[in-house]
Amino acid sequence: MRILAFVARRLAIFAVSLLGASVLVFAVCAALPGEVAAIILGQGATQAQIDALSAQLGLDRPAVVRYAEWVGGMLRGDFGTSYFTGQSVVQLMSPRIAVTLWLVLFALLLSVLIAVPVGMLAAMKRRSWPGFVASAAAQLGMAIPAFWAAIALVLVFAVGLRWLPANGYVPFTTSVSSWAAHLVLPVVSLAIVQAAVLVRYVRSAFIEVLSEDYYRTARAVGWRPFPALLRHGLRNAALSLVTVIGLQLASVLVGAIVIESVFALPGLGSALLDAVSQRDLMIVQSVVMFLAATVLLINFVVDLSYAWIDPRLRTEVEP
Amino acid sequence: MSLLQVTDLTVSFGRRRAVAVDSVSFELGQGQRLGIIGESGSGKTVTALALMGLLPETAHVTGSIRLAGRELVGLPEASLAGLRGDVLSMVFQEPMTALDPTMRVGRQVAEVLLLHTADRGGSARARVIDMLGRVGLADAERVADSFPHQLSGGQRQRCLLAMALINSPDLVICDEPTTALDVTVQARVLRLLDEVLTAEGAACLFISHDLAVVSQVCTDVLVMLEGRIVEAGPVARLFSAPEHPYTRGLVATARIDEVPPGERLPTVEDFYPREGAR
Amino acid sequence: MRRLALWLGAALVALLLAMALLSLVWTPYDPTLVVAGQRLQGPSAEHWLGTDAMGIDVFSRILVGAQTTIVVGVVSVSIAALLGVPLGMLAGQAGGWVDEVVMRVTDIAYAFPALLLAILLAARFGASPVTAMTAIGLATIPSFARVTRAGTKQVMSSDFVLAARASGTRWPGVSLRHVLPNIAPLIGVQASVTFALAILAEAALSYLGLSTAAIVPTWGKMLRDAQSVMFNAPLQALWPGLAIALAVLGFNLLGDGLRDLLDPRLREVS
């Protein structure tokens, strides 16, 4: 079975990637026990103090044991505890995941909704001014730092027009309208930059379609250019775009860290940045691993979606 | 009155107006078969695309193309799209890539039908199966439910033929429809094309670089060279008494079966030497 | 029209270089000089772009910021290219399991974009320009490796390489004499685009306070400073943002222009 072999291979790659990512994160954050204790104690700590703390935290055991403990804990849903406050990382993360999730989800959705029509326009009209304008807008959008766009949007819509709140977050359960209002500016500022990057991929994917024989066939049987592209191009272009959108997720997630900081949103990103400034390595280690695992998981799902989009994988080839 | 009347058709490309087709004129009657023969770059495919109105945006078209008395040059895209696939249709060279790989073949054929008929009745499926049968696909039901990658080149070319014929067009343009196929499959598809065109009563413009292939389907031939028509006439006359040296070369290379074994095969350049050749 | 991207990109990059070079020998004012009496002034004849919250001349800081931008870009791109290109060539030429291993490693690396890697390194080693540049460089290795691998595969399957191998040239010879010269333009394009990416990543890191601890002015840090005064002096956020955007635009356009120049497929004649 072609499709089973395909899924099995993807699953194996996903597992190996998770393993590799966890080793990398662990190696950076926790491989050398003495340094962890030294960082916690800060400058001026004596070697005896460092050794004592290392022993107290169980950091003097071999790295392999601690790695196995960390990974084993995560598989059971235990992401460790903060070295400073003793709070469990899961407790810290759980209310924040929703904030980041909404931000990333809506931003990705909005960027696709902007990028697909604009990219199609840029492809079809690439020799005349509408295409040129669309491509130029994408170039400009790519050059703008998301946090700068965020500051500009705050200045206009929050400070100037007073339509929307400048920062902060209200949970969905408290007030839906307030929740939405607080998310608009962060989502838009994250989405426009991502959309600009996507437009270029959409454009080249559709330019490819325009030169395909099946597009010419569609035109020859009487489809007009735009419907032909929608009917016979979208699915084919999606084959290459789905991968791109999967890869984009990593940059949206990372962009969210910055945007959360601009708008003071209590998401995973701001927790991560707080932990970095306090050098709370346990939190950093587990949150970074969580984010990386999410990216790998999404890319795994994206890979699987090929089997659904591309009939060449879904069906058996008959002689 | 003839079905297709092309007068002084000239096509040029780009800002420099590089001429690809130069003042080409010909006529084609109802149900008639006309071959256009020439090498790559001779302008034969550009002529076909000009008739379909499918040239890229960079092309400039002048002259006149009349189909059943209606002028096609300068016609808006919406009107042209209404004619394509309905009154005139085209079969392309590459059966392997000319079908949408993500859509079942039956649906692609049905689409052509529904695109040009107002009623959206449920009879489309039956007509598609019928059409696929008429182009010689024995298990039409199974083919209709297949994706292109599950079919052979010959089967795909038959499906494209079905798409071109399902709305009973007046004119079918075939651009090297068998070049990409194996020689044995090629012969079968050509015979089929001949039968189906006769059955449907459609006129055909058959484009090829191969005089032998053209002679199997067509009654008359145009020879194109560097954007111009250099010779025209019935196939039989062209074979027996070619006038232009280039045509003489073509005839000689089409009859390699007459060359005694061991002797060097003729080339077009033996009859029509060109600058830069050799 | 077709060369517009190339020339505009080259002009913007040249402008960035000129600013950095100029700032080495001359700035209107000392970019670290704090003048208490002239905080947050608007643009004027003395201070073209005004002064910031500490009374420092903004134009001088923008000029010096160009230096940081170039240093960060050059170092990051060098790290990425020096590691990514050999890796990609190895994968493209060796094929088989070596190729598979390299590709899987780059798969993992895609889960760690520059910013995430920089956060990880900053948590462990402390935030500094060095960790920022290292993170950006390491995070962009995969894209270099992939581009190089694809280019190498293409060159390796071409007739002239087959001929060279058939006549007995061993692989180091093939790599240096045939593969590298042929993929060099591709690498140039990738370097230009990565440079743009590095500028954006560094700006974000400075903005988050994860790059520079010292007083060295960077455009990202200027934006961070500007945000705290944005209600009174919105122009403060304009200049550094504009500088970042133009620099990124320049490198992206340059990369695109080079790519168009190289890719004959994009030159649609008919």
Q: Are strands B59-67 and B70-71 parallel, antiparallel or unpaired?
A: antiparallel
- Residues 6+ away with beta carbon under 8 Å from C10: C250, C254, C257
A14 vs chain C: nearest CA distance in angstroms?
A: 9
User: b vs e for A248-258, b when ≥16 Cβ sit within 10 Å of the residue's Cβ?
Assistant: bbbbbbbbbbb
The answer, yes or no, to whether residue C99 has pLDDT greater than 80, is yes
**In angstroms, what CA-CA distances link A316 with A4, A230, B152?**
12, 27, 14
What pLDDT is attached to residue C249?
Answer: 94
pLDDT single digits (tens) C190-234: 999 999 999 999 889 888 888 765 567 788 888 888 777 777 777
Could you tell me how many CB contacts below 8 A there are between chain B and chain C? 11
Q: Whole domain around residue A211: which residue ranges?
A: 94-269
Q: Which of residues 56-85 of B touch C (CB under 8 A)?
A: 56, 58-59
The SS3 assignment for B237 reads: helix
Chain B residue nearest residue A209, CA to CA: B100
The answer, yes or no, to whether residue C270 has pLDDT greater than 60, is no
Q: Considering only CB atoms, which chain C residues are within 8 Å of B14?
A: 269-270
Q: Are B107 and A218 in contact (CB under 8 A)?
A: no
In this complex, the residue of C196, C204, C248 whose CB is nearest that of residue A258 is C204
Q: B16 in contact with C at a CB cutoff of 8 Å?
A: no
What pLDDT is attached to residue B121?
Answer: 61
Instruction: Name chain C's partners: 3 or more CB pairs within 8 A.
Output: A, B
CB atoms within 10 A of CB C121: 22
B81 vs chain C: nearest CA distance in angstroms?
A: 21
Chain A residue nearest residue C270, CA to CA: A211
C270 vs chain B: nearest CA distance in angstroms?
A: 6
Task: For residue A118, tell me if it sits in a domain.
Answer: yes
ipTM of the complex: 0.86
What pLDDT is attached to residue C74?
Answer: 95
Q: How confident is the model at residue C83 (pLDDT cuts 50, 70, 90)?
A: very high
First to last CA, chain B: 46
What pLDDT is attached to residue A312?
Answer: 74
B110, B112, B113, B116: CA torsion to nearest 10: 150
Q: How far apart are CA B96 and CA B155, in angstroms?
A: 10
Task: For residue A284, tell me if it sits in a domain.
Answer: no
C238 vs chain A: nearest CA distance in angstroms?
A: 8
Q: How far apart are CA A21 and CA A292, in angstroms?
A: 7
B14 vs chain C: nearest CA distance in angstroms?
A: 7
CB atoms within 10 A of CB B127: 15
Q: Do C120 and A288 make contact, defined as CB atoms within 8 angstroms?
A: yes
In this complex, the residue of A217, A224, A311 whose CB is nearest that of residue B78 is A224
Q: Are B154 and B189 in contact (CB under 8 A)?
A: yes
- Residues 6+ away with beta carbon under 8 Å from B270: B249, B252
Q: Do B77 and A225 make contact, defined as CB atoms within 8 angstroms?
A: yes
Q: Are C220 and C205 in contact (CB under 8 A)?
A: yes
Task: For residue A256, tell me if it sits in a domain.
Answer: yes
Structure tokens at A28: 């950076």
Task: For residue C47, tell me if it sits in a domain.
Answer: no
Nearest to B11 by CA among B207, B222, B228: B228
What pLDDT is attached to residue A16?
Answer: 92
Q: How far apart are CA A48 and CA A32, in angstroms?
A: 16
First to last CA, chain A: 15
Q: How far apart are CA B234 and CA B215, in angstroms?
A: 10
Q: Do A221 and B78 make contact, defined as CB atoms within 8 angstroms?
A: no
pLDDT single digits (tens) B63-76: 999 998 899 998 99
Chain C residue nearest residue B20, CA to CA: C270
Q: Do B84 and A317 make contact, defined as CB atoms within 8 angstroms?
A: no
**Locus of tokens 């808006």:** B76
Chain C residue nearest residue A137, CA to CA: C249
pLDDT single digits (tens) B127-143: 899 889 888 888 889 99
Q: Do C208 and A261 make contact, defined as CB atoms within 8 angstroms?
A: yes
What pLDDT is attached to residue A156?
Answer: 87
Q: Are C193 and C248 in contact (CB under 8 A)?
A: no
Q: How confident is the model at residue C264 (pLDDT cuts 50, 70, 90)?
A: low
Q: A20 in contact with C at a CB cutoff of 8 Å?
A: yes
B207 vs chain C: nearest CA distance in angstroms?
A: 19
Q: Do B56 and C268 make contact, defined as CB atoms within 8 angstroms?
A: yes
What pLDDT is attached to residue A43?
Answer: 73
Inter-helix orientation angle A176-210/A234-263, to 10° = 140
Residue of B15, B100, B105 to mutate, interface with A, max A Cβ within 10 Å: B100
User: b vs e for C124-156, b when ≥16 Cβ sit within 10 Å of the residue's Cβ?
Assistant: beebbbebbbbbbbbbbbbbbbbbbbebbbebb
Which CATH number applies to B2-241?
3.40.50.300
At A163, phi and psi to the nearest 5?
Answer: -80, -35
- What's the total number of domains in chain C? 1
Q: B101 in contact with C at a CB cutoff of 8 Å?
A: no
Chain A residue nearest residue B81, CA to CA: A222
Q: Do C123 and A145 make contact, defined as CB atoms within 8 angstroms?
A: no
Listed as own residue / partner, the contacts of B123-128 with beta carbons closer than 8 Å and 24 or more positions apart are B127/B166, B128/B162, B128/B166
Q: How far apart are CA B197 and CA A104, in angstroms?
A: 58
Task: For residue C231, tell me if it sits in a domain.
Answer: yes
Q: How far apart are CA A255 and CA A263, in angstroms?
A: 12
Segment (H or E) for B33? strand B33-37
Q: How far apart are CA C134 and CA C76, in angstroms?
A: 6
Q: What is the DSSP string of A96-153?
A: HHHHHHHHHHHHHHHHHHHHHHHHHHHHHTTTSHHHHHHHHHHHHHHHS-HHHHHHHH
Q: Are C208 and C157 in contact (CB under 8 A)?
A: no
Q: How far apart are CA A32 and CA C74, in angstroms?
A: 31
CATH code for position A245 = 1.10.3720.10
Per run of 10 residues, the mean pLDDT along chain B (length 278 residues) is 89 86 92 89 90 88 92 90 91 85 90 81 82 87 91 89 90 86 82 87 90 87 90 88 86 75 76 62
Q: Whole domain around residue C233: which residue ranges?
A: 1-33+54-266
Q: Are strands B33-37 and B203-208 parallel, antiparallel or unpaired?
A: parallel
Chain B residue nearest residue C267, CA to CA: B14
CB atoms within 10 A of CB A67: 16
What pLDDT is attached to residue C61?
Answer: 85
Nearest-Å Rg of the Cα atoms of chain B is 19
**Locus of tokens 């030497």:** B273
Q: C112 in contact with A at a CB cutoff of 8 Å?
A: yes
A126-130, A248-252, C34-38, C133-137: least confidently modelled range: C34-38
Q: B13 in contact with C at a CB cutoff of 8 Å?
A: yes
Task: For residue A194, tell me if it sits in a domain.
Answer: yes
Q: Do B98 and A218 make contact, defined as CB atoms within 8 angstroms?
A: no
CATH code for position C163 = 1.10.3720.10
Q: How far apart are CA A100 and CA A110, in angstroms?
A: 15
- What's the total number of domains in chain A? 1
Q: How far apart are CA B210 and CA C134, in angstroms?
A: 63
Amino acid B90 reads M
For chain B, which residues lie within 8 Å of any Cβ of chain A, measuring from their own Cβ?
52, 54, 57-58, 77-78, 81-86, 89-90, 92, 94, 97-103, 111-112, 115-116, 146-147, 149-150, 160, 163-164
Q: What is the DSSP string of A192-254?
A: HHHHHHHHHHHHHHHHHHHTSHHHHHHHHTT--HHHHIIIIIHHHHHHHHHHHHHHHHHHHHH
Nearest to B200 by CA among B174, B175, B166: B166
At B263, phi and psi to the nearest 5?
Answer: -90, 155
**In angstroms, what CA-CA distances link B224 with A3, B35, B37, B209, B215?**
50, 10, 6, 10, 16
What pLDDT is attached to residue C265?
Answer: 46
Q: Which of residues 277-296 of A touch C (CB under 8 A)?
A: 277, 279-281, 284, 288, 291-293, 295-296
Q: What is the DSSP string of A285-309?
A: HHHHHHHHHHHHHHHHHHHHHHHHH
Task: For residue A178, tell me if it sits in a domain.
Answer: yes
- The distance of Cα B238 from the centroid of its chain, to the nearest Å, equals 20
Q: How confident is the model at residue C11 (pLDDT cuts 50, 70, 90)?
A: very high
The list of chain A residues with pLDDT below 50 reads 317-319
CB atoms within 10 A of CB C6: 18
Chain A residue nearest residue C267, CA to CA: A127
Q: Do A232 and B103 make contact, defined as CB atoms within 8 angstroms?
A: yes
Chain B residue nearest residue C269, CA to CA: B14
Chain C residue nearest residue A42, CA to CA: C126
Cβ burial, residue A97 (10 Å; 0-12/13-18/19+): middle
A19 vs chain B: nearest CA distance in angstroms?
A: 35
Q: Do A154 and C230 make contact, defined as CB atoms within 8 angstroms?
A: yes
User: b vs e for A102-112, b when ≥16 Cβ sit within 10 Å of the residue's Cβ?
Assistant: bbbebbbebbb
- Residues 6+ away with beta carbon under 8 Å from B268: B39, B246, B249, B250, B252, B253
Segment (H or E) for B78? helix B77-83
Q: Are strands B33-37 and B18-28 parallel, antiparallel or unpaired?
A: unpaired
Q: Considering only CB atoms, which chain A residues are within 8 Å of C249?
A: 139-140, 142-143
- The distance of Cα A292 from the centroid of its chain, to the nearest Å, equals 9
What pLDDT is attached to residue B186?
Answer: 83
Segment (H or E) for C64? helix C58-94
Inter-helix orientation angle C180-207/C141-156, to 10° = 170
Task: For residue A315, tell me if it sits in a domain.
Answer: no
Residue C171 or residue B174, greater confidence: B174
At B277, phi and psi to the nearest 5?
Answer: -80, 130
